[in-house]
Amino acid sequence: MKKLGLIVNPIAGMGGRVGLKGTDSPEILAKARELGAEPVAPARAVEALRVLKHHMAKFELLTYPAEMGADEAEAAGLEVRVIGKITSGKTTAEDTKRAAKEMLLEKVDLILFAGGDGTAADTIKAVDALVPILGIPTGVKMHSAVFANTPQAAGEIAARFLREGLPLQQAEVMDIDEEAYRENRLVAKLLGYANVPYEPVMMQATKEGSSGFELADQKAIARGVVELMEKRRIYVLGPGTTTRAVAEELGIYDSTLLGVDLVKDYKLLARDVNERQILKAIRGKPTTIVVSPIGKQGFILGRGNQQLSPEVVRCVGKENVWVLATPHKLSLTPTLKVDTGDSELDREFRGYIRVITGYRQTRMVKVV
Amino acid sequence: MGHPYIPNTREIREEMLREIGVVSIDELFADIPSKVRPKRKLKLPPAMSELEVKRHVQAMLSKNRPFTQMPSFIGGGVWPHNVPAHVRSLAQRAEFLTSYTPYQAEVSQGMLQALFEYQSLICELTGLEVANASMYDWSTALGEAALMCARVTGRRKFIVPELISLERLSVLQNYAAGPGLEVVKVGYDRSTGQLDMGELRKELGEDVAGVYVENPSYLGFLETRVDEISEAARKKGALFVVGVNPISLGLLKAPGDYGADIVVGEGQPLGNPVSFGGPTLGIFACRDDQKLIRQLPGRLVGMTTTLDGKTRGFAMVLQTREQHIRRERATSNICSNEALCAVTAAIYLTSLGPKGLRELAETCAANASYAMKRLNTIGGLKAPIFKAPHFNEFTLRCTKPKLTIEKFNAKLLEQGIQGGKPVRGEFPKLGETALLCTTELHTKGDIDRLAEAAARAVGGKG
Amino acid sequence: MTYRQARWAREGCLEPLVFELSKAGRMGASLPRAPARVKIPEKLTRTSLELPELSEPQVVRHYTRLSQMNYGVDSGFYPLGSCTMKYNPKVCDELVNLDGAAHIHPYQAEETVQGALELMYRLERHLAEIAGVSRVCLHPSAGAHGELLGMLLVRAYHKSTGSKRTEVIVPDSAHGTNFASAAMAGFNVVVVPSNNRGRVDLGALREAVSNRTAALMLTNPNTLGLFEDEILEIAEAIHKVGGLLYYDGANLNGILGKARPGDMGFDIVHFNLHKTFSTPHGGGGPGAGPIGVVRKLEKFLPVPVIEYDRRRKRYYLDYNRPNSIGKIKSFYGNFGVLVKAYAYILLMGAEGLEEVSEAAVLNANYIMRKLLKVEGYELKFDTSGPCKHEVVFSAEPLKKKYGVRAHFVAKRLLDFGMHAPTYYFPPIVPEALMIEPTETETKEELDQFIEALKQIAEEARSDPEKLQAAPTATAIARLDEVKASREPILSWRMYRKLAKK
């Protein structure tokens, strides 16, 4: 029988309605409670579980006690095996990590969690990409690409994954500095990748194009990009799985996933470089920047790839920035954004940009 | 008066407009800019009644001389055969005829099962395990096979025999042009017409995606060294593609049994009328190998069960494969194919069964053999021009000075006989030569008449 | 109205496969005896052939039963968007069986097929008039095949002018085959988005065009059923950079006699005779996808072109065309299909064709307006103006509220004795239901369809399990399509091989 682990972060999302951006620190949580914030995660988790139950007759459900899952499972009318211990009413990030680790040891097929970016980050800190995860969206910040669009969708995807075995897709887990976020600055870090069940839209036959499997799409993009590459030109590969697919297509298997690499003549020139190193390498040389939008917000510059500073971008020129994104990714972020910290440069990017979306296929996408 | 095919009368249409609050039909077309609205009505003949249309088309088509009214010895890609009455009437059943591609499996089991049966029957014929639900015709199936070879091997060169139908070659070249495949011709043995093995080995490097031969060949002779060709291709990592007339497979070894990776061919003779060359039916089959199946173009029907696992059913399968193929340079765009012709073929093959198909193939070949014998005794004629076994088609050369093959054919036509297809245009080296075909439609009397008429045409004795 | 599809079933399956019905020695056709045995070299001689053996009455029952478990336009309403599943007049089918149509060979002497050549010549002229182009090639066997020809013509044209053009522009609402056809002809594809009116975003298009632009592929009305009212601006943007305009003919049924692609600026116009001109679709073909062109592209058309020699009063096949791209199919096209389309045009005449569009467009608008009032379905784009031959609804409200997705709606419709609309297409509409009623449906049928959708929306709220279980009135319940693709069994041979394991 299939095993499902459930983790509810009961305080996720509490900050949102009272105008606080996240509840990562105990002080903020206290403040949120003071402002009269109500928990939102439990109710949304119950919604997801109801749909799951509807689609799936038999599976084993494992969860943590009380508000971390047991209560929600009961409310949805599901039988559950409760593991671990918590202090009800005082759960922390450590509880999430512990729960995830124990579920890994229990060999669950999927961890379904209710929370936001923080919960996603805690989960992958504990289990890396060893267990597929799927987020029921309940948090304030959901920049990571591990969340279903609605709680119902989370239930349905989980059921289909357990029942039919959907393919897995690597999805970014983003960590946003909440302090900065509260001050209206977005400092996003790409923290890592999780394995997430991928649900291709169930298309009628194949009269239609588009949509397919993420990995195959990335590979197709990579093949197209490699065909376009010229000798003696430097290619600055930004972070992400799509750009890594390009490196792999070149036969480079030790590129960095979260950092910036330099490639020349189809070979790795330098690995995980910072802004200074990039500038030193590219000055006066023909260069192309290859980036992919990061997270659900669709930033192509300025989030998770701050090494590509305004100076670097100016040095290369807008016309030499290649943006790569799979059709699936673009469906999540129909418009793209830039936030280099240099508003004049940002303005240059506004309007339409060509995004490479497949093998010899590009798409005009609006940058706002 | 109401329109027979437009059931909502003017009055009903008025009523519908009122119901949705639209003043006039014109309002529904107001979004078309006036600049592109036509200033005049279409210049077409005025509408006719069913009876008038019938008379009109009948009159027009009666100007044709169908081969039911005169012995005709023309083949070359489509071949006349008898279509049993029940085959035609079953395939034309309205539920098959007026359905769309079976996207909704639950309501389309009939079509899906019939197509599964077609695929299965083609597999039995070709000796392979997988066949798709059809291509447009032989030539486009060949084009798709070349693209598939390129996808599977990642190579760009495709070898074909020099003695290939110009039509098929031209289609192949057009399919190959986009992704930049190179089509290379390999010459033939002057005496047998068969592939020149020396030349093949010279061209067959490790850059070759596929090697294609036809058996029986375009000019009717059999390619007897298919084992060696298959082996040579395999050694270099190229795929071996074989083109067939499926009727011949009643007698001939299945290409799968001599190493074919892909089989293409023309399925028209399997119960479909010649119909001036269309609709046709492209056969496409391959080995049960994941590497091949993943790159197989076109629609596939597979066997499955209901969700509860209790009842067997059929559905279109591996549709993501079509998406994957579209991520390749050597891609395929086929959607609608020739499904109803495939169903016809299934009904036809089921009706003939193994013994029937064998008997039929035997008749076709025996008639050709008799025709060659008769024609070859006539001075000024040579049939066949190649020393090799033949199936049901053969070459006839007119060796009489100043008598072109066209003139020879014209003289046959004057005597009420349609001769073979001149091939001088395709292969100037072969001289005044035509390609003739016989099937079960030809009686001994027809063949004797051909021989007598041919003798008169060359001015000799029969 | 209630519906129940015929169901011929045995333990664990419906009608058995022909292989399972086989008994050695039975025969379903009578053949002349071979006059002599022929000699085939031993290494090429067949030793076994495992075809089924059935008698004629068994064959007839088997395929009759299968046909009864199949749904066609003749069975009922078939609102499959973008496919124009209209009624196919029977007289057209009958004509194809005439001796002068079924039993003529493409290589026969020209003087013996004058009627066939005349018919094709006239059909070509009629199609050219309808589309506003100068010549039409009847060769392509299907829509996608015509698209490929169109793209090969684009390629040939630019090659002849010596300009290197690598890109074909396609809107994001386009048929999937457009992308594939352009790629197949060696072009890179540039996708332009739709604007919030559901039309091509002209701003994005103007950014996309350049001296690399080979062509724009566009269908008008587009796949949302909306007329591209900025078509002249679009055409100008493409022509200004030297590109060609390609018309996808899937939606021609909405504008017959009302607007001609040629007048809109299209250089290459594609037809689907199995849609607009009412030739039956045959469960996936044969169809026909002719291609029309403006004068400057004529010389590139495939050979042979049918010409008329006025002096000799004879039609002939012209192969002497040095700029031709060659061939894309053996012979001259799906003649049987062409005969049906020709007869259809004669039956309708100019006024009849215009009436087709009027009635088709009215039927679509009727559904649009009525269904807008039904809770659960909404339009995502322009709702103010009219639609053309089809309308694309979104069932997103049902998904959001009750978790019921568009394909559940579609499957449940089958229980009402109606075919499902196209769903999840075009991809720019979430939970899309693409509805094309055509002109051959009665108001009563449309009302029943709307009632059915209303009832389904109600069931989404009150009885979602019923939707999950649908369809139940069909010959078979929902199939495990995932399993079918994971462990594909594609033939009787594969099945037996697996059974042995």
- Residues A8-23 as b/e (b if ≥16 CB within 10 A, e otherwise) read bbbbbbbbbeeebbbb
Partner residues linked to C240 by β-bridges: none
Please indicate whether, in this complex, the C-beta atoms of C427 and A210 are within 8 angstroms of each other: yes
Tokens 């590009």 appear where?
Answer: A362
- Tell me the torsion sign for CA atoms A308, A312, A316, A317: positive
Rounded to 10 degrees, the C-alpha dihedral B137/B142/B143/B145 comes to 120
CB atoms within 10 A of CB B461: 10
- Domain borders along chain A are 3-197, 214-367
Q: What is the pLDDT of residue A196?
A: 86
pLDDT classification of A210: cutoffs 50, 70, 90: very low
| Interface touch C172/A363, C-beta < 8 Å | yes
Report the pLDDT value the prediction gives residue B119, as an integer from 0 to 100: 98
Domain match, B143 and B259 both: yes
What mean pLDDT value characterizes chain B?
96
Contact between residue C224 and residue C198 where contact means Cβ atoms under 8 Å apart: yes
Give B327's contacts in chain A (Cβ within 8 Å). 212, 216-217, 219-220, 223, 358-359
Query: Can you tell me the mean pLDDT for A132-158?
Result: 82
SS3 A95: helix
Could you check whether the bond before residue A197 is cis, i.e. omega within 30 degrees of 0?
no
A216: closest chain B residue by CA: B324
- With an 8 Å Cβ cutoff, is B320 touching chain A? yes
CA atoms within 13 A on the CB side of C345: 27
Do B280 and B372 belong together in one domain?
Answer: no
Domain count, chain B: 2
Nearest residue of A to residue B336, measured between CA atoms:
A207
Q: Are strands C291-293 and C268-270 parallel, antiparallel or unpaired?
A: antiparallel
Kind and range of the H or E element at A368? none
How much is the pLDDT for A32?
74
**A204, closest residue in chain B (CA to CA):** B103
In a domain, B50, yes or no: no
Tell me the ipTM for this assembly: 0.98
How many CB atoms lie under 10 A from the CB of residue B222? Answer: 23
CA distances in angstroms from B448 to B417, B444, C382, listed in the order given: 11, 6, 73
Tens-digit pLDDT profile for residues C377-392:
999 997 789 999 999 9
What is each CA distance from A366 to A306, B31, C169, C480, C496, in whole angstroms? 21, 27, 16, 40, 54
- Which chain A residues are closer than 8 Å to B320 by Cβ? 200, 212-213
- The hierarchical CATH code for the domain A214-367 is 3.40.50
Asked if C40 lies within 8 A of B251 by C-beta distance, the reply is yes
Would the pLDDT of A207 be above 60? no
To test the contact with chain B by mutation, choose from A206, A213, A328 the residue with the greatest count of B C-beta atoms within 10 A, namely A206
* A29-43, A304-318, B269-283, C284-298: segment of lowest average pLDDT: A29-43
Which class would CATH give A3-197? alpha beta
Look at strands C291-293 and C135-137 and give their pairing: antiparallel
Residue B101: CB partners within 8 Å, gap ≥ 6?
A205, B299, B316, B335, B336, B339, C281, C283, C284
Using a CB-CB cut-off of 8 Å, the residues of chain C touching B343 are 63, 283
B316 close to A (CB below 8 A): yes
Task: Give the one of B65, B320, B357 whose C-beta lies nearest to C49's C-beta.
Answer: B357
Strands C9-10 and C13-14: what pairing?
A: antiparallel
Domain boundary among B348, B378, B400: B348
Which chain C residues are Cβ-neighbours of B360 within 8 angstroms?
31
3-state secondary structure of C196: coil
Q: How far apart are CA C158 and CA C166, in angstroms?
A: 10
Of the pLDDT bands very low, low, confident and very high (cuts 50, 70, 90), residue A213 is low
> Which amino acid is located at A175 in the chain?
D
Closest Cα in chain B to A218:
B327
Task: Determine the 3-state secondary structure of C29 from DSSP.
Answer: coil
Inside any domain, residue B42: no
**Whether the predicted pLDDT of B461 surpasses 50:** no
Residue C256: DSSP 8-state: T
CA distance B5 to C250: 20
pLDDT for the residue numbered A183: 60
Q: How far is B288 from chain C (nearest CA, A)?
A: 8
Which residue, B348, B370, B401, sits at the end of a domain?
B348
Per CB-CB distance under 8 Å, the chain C contacts of B226 are 44
Strand C391-394's sheet: what is its strand order? C391-394, C432-435, C422-423
Q: Span B269-287, mean pLDDT?
A: 98
CB neighbour class for A163 (10 Å; exposed up to 12, middle 13-18, buried from 19): middle
Measured between CA atoms, the residue of chain A closest to residue C183 is A360
Rounded Cα–Cα distance for residues B420 and B436 (Å) = 4
pLDDT for residue A208 = 28
* Percentage of the residues of chain B whose pLDDT score is greater than 90: 94
**pLDDT tens digits, one per residue of C169-187:** 999 999 889 999 999 999 9
Whether the pLDDT of residue B364 is over 50: the answer is yes
* Residue A223 CB-half CA count within 13 A: 13
* Closest chain B C-alpha to A224 CA, distance in angstroms: 9
Q: What is the mean pLDDT of residues C471-481?
A: 94
Q: Which of C191, C203, C424 sits opposite A362 (nearest CB)?
A: C191
Angle at alpha carbon of residue A201, lines to A195 and A205, rounded to 5°: 130
Summarize the confidence of residues A303-310 as an average pLDDT. Answer: 84
Q: Which residues in chain C have Cβ-Cβ distances shorter than 8 Å to A213?
A: none
- B98: tokens are 């007026």
Q: Which residue do the tokens 């079924």 mark?
A: C102
Boundary of a domain, candidates B288, B317, B348: B348
State the smallest CA–CA distance between residue B187 and chain C in angstroms: 22
Among all residues of chain B, which has the CA nearest to that of A164? B307
CB environment A29-38: b (16+ within 10 A), e (fewer) = beebeeeebe
Report which secondary-structure segment, H or E, holds A283. Answer: none
Domain ranges of chain C: 91-346
Distances from the Cα of A365 to the Cα of A205, A335, B24, C188, C427, angstroms = 27, 6, 40, 17, 16
User: Do B121 and B350 form a contact (C-beta atoms < 8 A)?
Assistant: yes
B60/C332 touch (CB, cutoff 8 Å), yes or no = no
Q: Same domain, yes or no, for B447 and B414?
A: yes
Give start and end residues of each alpha helix (H) in B208-289.
Answer: 226-235
How much is the pLDDT for C464? 85
Q: Is the pLDDT of residue B462 over 50?
A: no
Tell me the β-bridge partners of C137: C291
Q: Does the pLDDT of residue C75 top 50, yes or no?
A: yes
Share of chain C above pLDDT 70, in %: 100
Structure tokens at B196: 């020149």
Q: What is the DSSP string of B20-63?
A: TT-S-HHHHTTTS-GGGS-SS----PPP--HHHHHHHHHHHHTT
Counting as contact any 3 or more CB pairs under 8 A, the partners of A are B, C
Nearest to C191 among A155, A211, A361 (CB): A361
> What is the span of the domain harbouring residue B267?
85-348
- Is residue B214 within 8 Å of residue B262, measured between CB atoms? no
Q: Are residues B316 and B362 in the same domain?
A: no
pLDDT of residue A56: 74
Write the CA distances from C158 to A49, B149, C211, C213, C379, integer angstroms: 58, 28, 11, 10, 40
Whole-angstrom Cα distance, residue B371 to residue A151? Answer: 77
Under 8 Å CB-to-CB from C115, ≥6 apart: which residues? B60, B61, B62, B63, B64, C100
Inter-axis angle of helices B50-61 and C335-372, nearest 10 = 150
Q: Which residue has the higher pLDDT, C269 or A131?
A: C269
User: How far is Cα of residue B395 from the mean position of the Cα atoms in its chain?
Assistant: 21
Please report whether residue B114 resides in a domain. yes
Interchain CB distance below 8 Å, C193 and A354: no
Q: Which pLDDT score, from 0 to 100, does residue A164 have?
A: 73
Q: What are phi and psi of B356, to 5 degrees?
A: -60, -45
Instruction: At C36, give phi and psi (nearest 5°).
Output: -160, 165
- Domain of B173, CATH number, reads 3.40.640.10
Residue B12 covered by a domain: no
Q: In terms of pLDDT, which residue wins out, A166 or B113?
A: B113
Beta bridge partners, B160, equal B185
Q: Among A205, A216, A359, whose Cβ lies nearest the Cβ of B101? A: A205
Phi, psi (degrees; rounded to nearest 5) at B409 = -60, -40
Classify C302 as helix, strand or coil.
coil
* Predicted confidence (pLDDT) per residue in B167-198, tens digit: 999 999 999 999 999 999 999 999 999 999 99
Q: Is residue B25 part of a domain?
A: no
Identity of the residue in C188, C192, C423 whose CB atom sits nearest the CB atom of A204: C423
Q: Which of C279, C272, C301 is nearest to C95 (CA)?
A: C279
* Residue C93 CB contacts under 8 Å (≥ 6 apart), including other chains: B92, B97, C280, C340
Facing residue for B103 by CB, picked from A204, A220, A358: A204
Can you tell me the distance from the alpha carbon of C205 to that of C242, in angstroms, rounded to the nearest whole number? 14
Q: Contact B189/B195 with Cβ under 8 angstroms?
A: yes
Mutate to test the interface with C, among B336, B337, B409, B446 (most CBs of C within 10 A): B336
Q: How many angstroms separate the CA atoms of A348 and A319, rounded? A: 10
B175 assigned to some structural domain: yes
Nearest chain C Cα to A200, which residue?
Answer: C424
**C232 vs B36, B173, B351: nearest CB:** B36
B305 touches A: beta carbon within 8 Å: no
Of the partner residues B103, B326, B329, the one whose CB lies closest to the CB of residue A209: B326
Q: What value does the mean pLDDT take over residues C422-434?
A: 92
Which pLDDT value is given to residue B157?
Answer: 98
Q: Which CATH number describes the domain made up of C91-346?
A: 3.40.640.10
What one-letter code names the amino acid at C50?
E
Q: How many CB atoms lie within 10 A of CB A265?
A: 13
| Residue partners of A359: CB distance under 8 A and separation at least 6 | A220, A221, A223, A224, B327, B328, B329
B422 with B329, same domain: the answer is no
Inform me whether the pLDDT recorded for A204 exceeds 60: no
Residue C322 sits at the chain B interface (C-beta within 8 Å): no
Beta-sheet strands, E only, within chain A: 3-8, 60-63, 81-82, 110-115, 133-137, 168-176, 188-197, 234-237, 261-264, 267-270, 287-291, 299-301, 321-324, 337-338, 351-358, 361-367
Closest Cβ opposite residue A358 in set B316, B322, B327: B327
Q: Does residue B333 sit at the A interface (CB-CB below 8 Å)?
A: no
- Interface partners of chain C (CB pairs < 8 Å, 3 or more) are A, B
Q: Same domain for B191 and B302?
A: yes
Which of B103, B323, B328 is facing A212, going by the closest CB pair? B323
Helix H, strand E, coil C: the string for C198-230 is CCECHHHHHHHCCCCEEEEEECCCCCCCCCCCC
Please name the residue of chain C whose CA is at the shortest distance from the CA of residue B170.
C327
Tell me how far apart the alpha carbons of residues C458 and B424 are, in angstroms, rounded to a whole number: 71
Lowest-confidence pick of A208-222, B69-83, B232-246, C361-375: A208-222
d(CA C115, nearest CA chain A) in Å: 36
Domain of residue B364, CATH code? 3.90.1150.10
Kindly state whether residues B132 and B249 are assigned to the same domain. yes
What pLDDT, on the 0 to 100 scale, is given for residue A22?
Answer: 65
Backbone torsions φ then ψ of C412, nearest 5 degrees:
-65, -35
HEC string of A206-227 equals CCCCCCCCHHHHHHHHHHHHHH
Cβ-Cβ contacts under 8 Å, A155 against chain C: 403
Helix, strand, or coil (residue C295): helix
